[in-house]
Amino acid sequence: MRRTLLVFLCLIVCAGRAAAEDDAVRKKLDDARATYDKEIEALAKAVTDWFDKREASARESGNKKLVEQIKAERETFVEKNSFAKVSPELRERRSSTRRRYEAALQSAIREYTRLKRDDDASTIEKELADFKLTAYSVSDIESALIGTWRVRLFDKAKKEVYRADWVFKPDGIVESNKGSPRGRWTIELDKKRVYTTWDDNAWETFDLPLNPVGATGQSHDGHTKEAKKIK
């Protein structure tokens, strides 16, 4: 009886320790998120101040053309969260902020896995995937997409049935060296994909978030797609 009681108490203590560690993992991640949100808020103010300073300088010099350019760049930033025309220092500040929070998410996944809490680890994996999708702007996706991709399609038996190089251009045009030679691409954030339609009415997708070293997707005929950016 005494031995049974000791085992029971041990189980309670061990479970309590695991729960405490779980809470510590979640709290650490929540703290990292709070820090990320504060840093992004401060960054948004820094970008606004940067645009204000540039516009004030352009107005002081009477350069109307530059004023209009800065206003257009500001509008793009506000509407698309695009840092394409923002200073390199501010772009790097945003990148480092995102990297730190991504690292916190990855650390939480490892910790939950160590604690044998696979469901919690899977939940954080989804948070990480959602963060990568929402934290990156349309202009970020476009920058990753533009270039040449080696694309392969596989049938249900995992047999390669197609291989070609696709060139994605900034004007929304995509060209292929095999099959239909030309099509158009669009980014559909709500569907988490890059959608390509070809001149012969076929369609293909890239899944978001876009991975330049191992992108995936689907084709109109049910084939799965794997692709890698080669230049």
* 96 and 130 in a common domain: yes
Long-range contacts, stretch 215-221, CB < 8 angstroms, 24+ apart: 215/149, 217/193, 219/153
Q: Are residues 17 and 49 in the same domain?
A: yes
- Residue 143's pLDDT is 82
Residue 6: per-residue pLDDT: 42
Q: What is the pTM of this model?
A: 0.63
pLDDT of the chain along its 231 residues, tens only? 445 434 433 444 444 454 555 489 999 999 999 999 999 999 999 999 999 999 999 999 999 999 999 999 999 888 877 787 889 899 889 989 999 999 999 999 999 999 999 999 999 999 998 888 777 777 788 888 999 999 999 999 999 999 999 999 988 999 999 888 999 999 988 888 999 999 988 999 999 888 888 899 999 989 999 999 998
Q: Tokens for 221, please give them.
A: 């005929």
Q: For the chain, what's the residue count?
A: 231
Beta-carbon contacts of 208 under 8 Å, excluding residues fewer than 6 positions away, are: 133, 141, 187, 189, 192, 193, 194
Structure tokens at 155: 């049938």
- What is the C-alpha separation between 13 and 18, in angstroms, rounded? 9
69 lies in the same domain as 87: yes
Q: Which amino acid is at 28?
A: K
Query: What is the number of structural domains in the chain?
Result: 2
Per-residue model confidence (pLDDT) at position 100: 94
Residue finishing a domain among 135, 159, 181: 135
Domain that holds residue 214: 142-229
Last residue of a domain, one of 99, 116, 135: 135
Identify whether residues 87 and 178 lie together within a single domain.
no
Phi, psi of 9, rounded to the nearest 5 degrees? -65, -35
Residues 6+ apart with CB under 8 A from 40: 94, 97
Instruction: Assess whether 149 and 131 both reside in one domain.
Output: no
Does 3 reside within a domain?
Answer: no
